């Protein structure tokens, strides 16, 4: 762990972004920057937060590591284990269920040959179900990185998976331009 | 279509840019407020407008503003609650995505009224792409001199930032939101003290929903009294309604308060009727937390009067035969919907989102989810139905924040109005094995048969 820790370091652009974020909060209240910095860290380090990454964020904010762990474990957007290049998060709450979310989940499971919560053997996809994403008028839908894919059908979600499979890791900060009609 | 006070220019190409927004009359409220009004005069207009908080609770916004401790020597904060997470609600996302400058303008005018020098927009982390749209709008507003030092050459200066959450419904509760903004777990605080006295960093703070802050723009432009002329009684102004579920035209609609519910559901200007030519079965009118109502009670009150889209009319009959306007998350269900399965998804939601601080909510939401799961999947007993009612009753009112109530009300109301359907699941386990059981053969209430 100690050797890994030494190699954990934001890129120059992420580091300057982190400093700019910390500056948004009053003197002595830099802990406020924790959630934005964890988002930044997750996007910098392959979509998940290892203990070493969390320790690094703690050092940036001059807070105790436990203050980062207790927060990272509370919020569902932070992945505490490695995830595939494309984390498919399908909304399963009432309004999406009414418009066929269960069929979408089933179709993805068949297409990728995994169950909810699992990652494909090639490490490309992880499938999760999540609670309401505020996209009820365009249901059913899924989120992948920073992109919402809406008004899905069983057919269009297959097309989406095929297109994503050809792409590098989905960004958590920038939406992609993929269109599945 | 009724009067549009927020979304009037939403279809104008380029309205998301400062240039076009300004050309359409944008930022007039900032000019008017900063150059011709004192902060207290702005607050007075908001009071006169009768505006009620648009996040769900419906508390008078002007009154909330007047509670702000203006004698404290600590800095004051305005925090916008853009943590929109109530199932069925997506109006704030629509507003921020399509017309971001309306929120930025509202934040500047409102911050001036409250004397805030730094303000934050707390947006749910899943809306990361909307955060970027807002940040672009904020950069444009700085460049045009509407944010930063000495706005429009006046003494007033303001910095505005957007802050992402990270996936927690509970952070929509204002004290949990403030905890989260301080970089902590989103555990709601015990009140008092209220945020108006000790909020962000223990300083006087106002937390308002996106739509509430946006509404300050037309209130200042028109004057509070003019704004109050729109709507009915104590439901003034317009309301953004998020329409979802089994309708022909899901989406966000700005309605004048007082629109009949029937017109909202069936008119082509709004939801366009029930999809696939089916019949209406039930509606959850104000986000997943509010009581579900069967078709006959959402269209007409128990007294037989047409139900209107207002705080008062939707609440007519209390929880016996009424519901709430809530966040305006209007979820429509057709005749093939299984009320039990829909409720199970809601119960699962609240179990997932309980912060775990209070035992009745932490444990009770889990029990309700489990019991609903077994009823829905054909393993339930008749006594489970009253068990659910009992658990819901023991959560309600016994928690620090309203999440417990929000989890209890849907359960209690579904059993109140659709008890027969729960009994059917227990009596005929074989018939509910297929998850789409009522699509295959819609459930028919014996009560309805008698009525027909």
pLDDT for B190 beyond 90: yes
pLDDT for B367 beyond 90: yes
ipTM of the complex in this document:
0.96
DSSP B73-126: SSPEEEEEEE---STT--HHHHHHHH-HHHHHHHHHHHHHHHTEEEEEEEE-GG
- Rounded Cα gap, residues A113 and A120, in angstroms: 8
Residue-level pLDDT at A1? 45
Report residue A6's pLDDT band, with 50, 70 and 90 as the boundaries.
low
Peptide bond into A140 cis (omega under 30): yes
B7: in domain? no
pLDDT for B449 beyond 70: no
Q: Give the architecture-level CATH label for domain A2-72.
A: Orthogonal Bundle (1.10)
- Domain map (residue ranges) of chain A: 2-72, 86-165
A138-171 pLDDT per residue, tens = 999 999 999 999 999 999 999 999 999 999 999 9
Question: Which residue is listed with tokens 């317009």?
Answer: B238
B40: in domain? yes
- Rounded Cα gap, residues B30 and B39, in angstroms: 11
Residues of chain B with Cβ-Cβ distance to A67 below 8 Å are 183
pLDDT mean over A90-108: 98
- Rounded Cα gap, residues A152 and A149, in angstroms: 7
Q: Do B128 and A173 touch (CB under 8 A)?
A: yes
The three-class DSSP label of residue B203 is coil
Residues B177 and B268 in one domain: no
Residues B246 and B169 in one domain: no
Angle at B308 between CA B304 and CA B311, to 5 degrees: 115
Q: Do A93 and B183 touch (CB under 8 A)?
A: no
- Rounded Cα gap, residues B104 and B137, in angstroms: 7
Question: Which residue is listed with tokens 């900063």?
Answer: B34
Residues of chain A with Cβ-Cβ distance to B92 below 8 Å are 134
Final residue in a domain of this structure, among B334, B354, B373? B334
Bridge partner list, A119: A126
A37 in contact with B, Cβ within 8 Å: no
pLDDT mean over B344-366: 98
Whole-number CA gyration radius for chain A: 18
Residues B196 and B80 in one domain: yes
DSSP B357-417: -SHHHHHHHHHHHHHHHHHHTT---HHHHHHHHHHHHHHTT-SSSTHHHHHHHHHHHHHHH
| H or E stretch at A125 | strand A125-130
- Considering only the beta carbons, identify the residue of B86, B128, B168 that sits closest to A74: B168
Given a contact cutoff of 8 angstroms between Cβ atoms, the answer to whether B392 and B408 are in contact is yes
B299-347 pLDDT per residue, tens = 999 999 999 999 999 999 999 999 999 999 999 999 999 999 999 999 9
B12: in domain? no
Final residue in a domain of this structure, among B212, B229, B246? B229
CA B143 to chain centre: 32
B161-184 pLDDT per residue, tens = 999 999 999 999 999 999 999 999
B1: in domain? no
Residues B214 and B253 in one domain: no
A157 in contact with B, Cβ within 8 Å: no
Numbers of helices and strands, H then E, in chain A = 8, 4
Q: Give the architecture-level CATH label for domain A86-165.
A: 3-Layer(aba) Sandwich (3.40)
Range of the domain at B425: 339-451
Bridge partner list, B164: B123
Q: Do A93 and B87 touch (CB under 8 A)?
A: yes
Report the number of distinct structural domains present in chain B. 3
Residues of chain A with Cβ-Cβ distance to B252 below 8 Å are 137
Residues B153 and B138 in one domain: yes
Residues B156 and B192 in one domain: yes
Question: B223 vs chain A: nearest CA distance in angstroms?
Answer: 32
Q: Do B349 and A132 touch (CB under 8 A)?
A: yes
- Rounded Cα gap, residues A61 and B365, in angstroms: 36
With a CB cutoff of 8 Å and minimum separation 6, the contacts of A59 are none
B10: in domain? no
Output the domain CATH number for residue B237. 3.10.20.600
B123: in domain? yes
Residue-level pLDDT at B451? 47
B107-127 pLDDT per residue, tens = 999 999 999 999 999 999 999
Name the residue of chain B whose CA is nearest to A73's CA: B185
pLDDT for A42 beyond 60: yes
Report residue B448's pLDDT band, with 50, 70 and 90 as the boundaries.
low
Residues B42 and B150 in one domain: yes
Name the residue of chain B whose CA is nearest to A70's CA: B185
Name the residue of chain A whose CA is nearest to B90's CA: A134
What's phi and psi for A133, nearest 5 deg?
-105, 10
Peptide bond into B192 cis (omega under 30): yes
Residues B119 and B26 in one domain: yes
Output the domain CATH number for residue B61. 3.40.50.11540
Of B334, B154, B373, which is closest to residue B244 (Cα–Cα)? B334
- Considering only the beta carbons, identify the residue of A36, A77, A136 that sits closest to B90: A136
Report residue B446's pLDDT band, with 50, 70 and 90 as the boundaries.
confident
Residues B31 and B126 in one domain: yes
Residues of chain A with Cβ-Cβ distance to B242 below 8 Å are 136-137
Residues B73 and B215 in one domain: yes
Residue-level pLDDT at A174? 86
Residues B423 and B286 in one domain: no
Pairing type for strands B116-123 and B76-82 reads parallel
Residues of chain B with Cβ-Cβ distance to A173 below 8 Å are 128, 132
| H or E stretch at B22 | helix B18-23
Residues of chain A with Cβ-Cβ distance to B345 below 8 Å are 92-94, 97
Q: Give the torsion sign (CA, B329, B333, B339, B341).
A: negative
Report residue A173's pLDDT band, with 50, 70 and 90 as the boundaries.
confident
- Considering only the beta carbons, identify the residue of A26, A74, A95 that sits closest to B201: A26
Residue-level pLDDT at B452? 39
B250: in domain? yes
Final residue in a domain of this structure, among B288, B305, B334? B334
User: Cβ atoms within 10 A of the Cβ of B399, count?
Assistant: 23
pLDDT mean over B281-291: 97
B4: in domain? no
Given a contact cutoff of 8 angstroms between Cβ atoms, the answer to whether B331 and A136 are in contact is yes
pLDDT mean over B61-90: 97
Residues B250 and B183 in one domain: no
Name the residue of chain A whose CA is nearest to B88's CA: A136
Instruction: Tell me the average pLDDT of chain B.
Output: 96
Using left for φ > 0, alpha for ψ between -120 and 50, and beta otherwise, residue A167 falls in beta
């Amino acid at each position: 762990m100690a050797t890994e820790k030494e190699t954990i370091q934001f890129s120059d652009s992420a580091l300057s972004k982190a400093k700019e974020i910390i500056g948004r909060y009053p003197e002595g209240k830099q802990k406020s920057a924790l959630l934005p910095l964890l988002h930044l860290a997750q996007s910098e380090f392959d979509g998940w937060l290892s203990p070493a990454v969390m320790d690094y964020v703690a050092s940036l904010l001059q807070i105790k590591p436990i203050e980062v762990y207790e927060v990272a474990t509370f919020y569902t957007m932070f992945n505490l284990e490695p995830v595939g290049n494309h984390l498919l998060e399908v909304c399963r709450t009432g309004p999406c269920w009414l418009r066929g979310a269960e069929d979408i989940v089933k179709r993805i499971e068949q297409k990728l040959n995994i169950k909810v919560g699992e990652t494909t053997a090639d490490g490309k996809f992880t499938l999760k179900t999540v609670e309401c994403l505020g996209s009820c008028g365009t249901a059913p839908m899924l989120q992948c990185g920073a992109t919402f894919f809406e008004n899905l059908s069983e057919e269009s979600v297959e097309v989406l998976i095929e297109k994503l499979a050809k792409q590098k890791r989905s960004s958590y900060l920038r939406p992609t331009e993929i269109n599945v009609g | 279509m009724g009067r549009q006070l927020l979304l009037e220019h939403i279809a104008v190409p380029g309205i998301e840019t400062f240039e076009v927004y300004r050309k359409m009359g944008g930022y007039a409220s900032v000019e008017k407020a900063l150059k011709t009004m004192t902060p207290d005069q702005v607050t007075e207009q908001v009071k006169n407008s009768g505006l009620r908080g648009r996040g769900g609770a419906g508390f008078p916004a002007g009154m909330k503003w007047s509670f702000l401790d203006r004698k404290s020597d600590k800095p004051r904060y305005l925090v916008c609650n853009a943590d929109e997470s109530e199932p069925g609600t997506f109006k704030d996302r629509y507003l921020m995505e399509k017309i971001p400058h309306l929120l930025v303008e509202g934040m500047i005018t409102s911050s001036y009224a409250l004397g805030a020098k730094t303000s934050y927009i707390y947006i749910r982390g899943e809306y990361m792409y909307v955060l970027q749209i807002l940040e672009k709008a904020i950069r444009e507003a700085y460049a045009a001199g509407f944010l930063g030092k000495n706005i429009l050459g006046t003494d007033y200066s303001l910095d505005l930032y957007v802050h992402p959450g990270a996936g927690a419904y509970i952070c929509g509760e204002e004290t949990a939101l403030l905890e989260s903004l301080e970089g902590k777990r989103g555990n709601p605080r015990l009140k008092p003290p209220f945020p108006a006295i000790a909020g962000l960093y223990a300083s006087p703070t106002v937390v308002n929903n996106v739509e509430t802050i946006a509404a300050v723009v037309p209130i200042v432009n028109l004057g509070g009294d003019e704004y109050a002329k729109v709507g009915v009684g104590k439901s003034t102004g317009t309301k953004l309604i998020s329409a979802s579920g089994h309708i022909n035209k899901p989406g966000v609609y700005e309605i004048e308060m007082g629109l009949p519910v029937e017109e909202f559901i069936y008119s082509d200007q709004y939801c366009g009727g029930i999809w696939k030519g089916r019949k209406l079965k039930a509606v959850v009118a104000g986000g997943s937390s509010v009581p579900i109502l069967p078709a006959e009670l959402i269209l007409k009150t128990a007294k037989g009067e047409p139900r209107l889209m207002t705080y008062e009319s939707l609440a007519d009959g209390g929880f016996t035969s009424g519901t709430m306007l809530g966040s305006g998350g209007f979820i429509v269900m057709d005749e093939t919907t299984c009320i039990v399965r829909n409720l199970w998804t809601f119960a699962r939601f609240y179990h997932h989102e309980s912060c775990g601080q209070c035992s009745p909510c932490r444990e009770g939401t889990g029990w309700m989810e489990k019991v609903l799961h077994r009823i829905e999947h054909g393993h339930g007993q008749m006594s489970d139905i009253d068990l659910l009612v009992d658990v819901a009753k023991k959560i309600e009112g016994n928690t620090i924040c309203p999440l417990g109530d929000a989890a209890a009300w849907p359960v209690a109301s579904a059993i109140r109005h659709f008890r027969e359907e729960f009994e059917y699941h227990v009596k005929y386990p074989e018939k509910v094995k297929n998850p789409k059981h009522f699509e295959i053969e819609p459930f028919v209430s014996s009560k309805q048969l008698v009525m027909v």
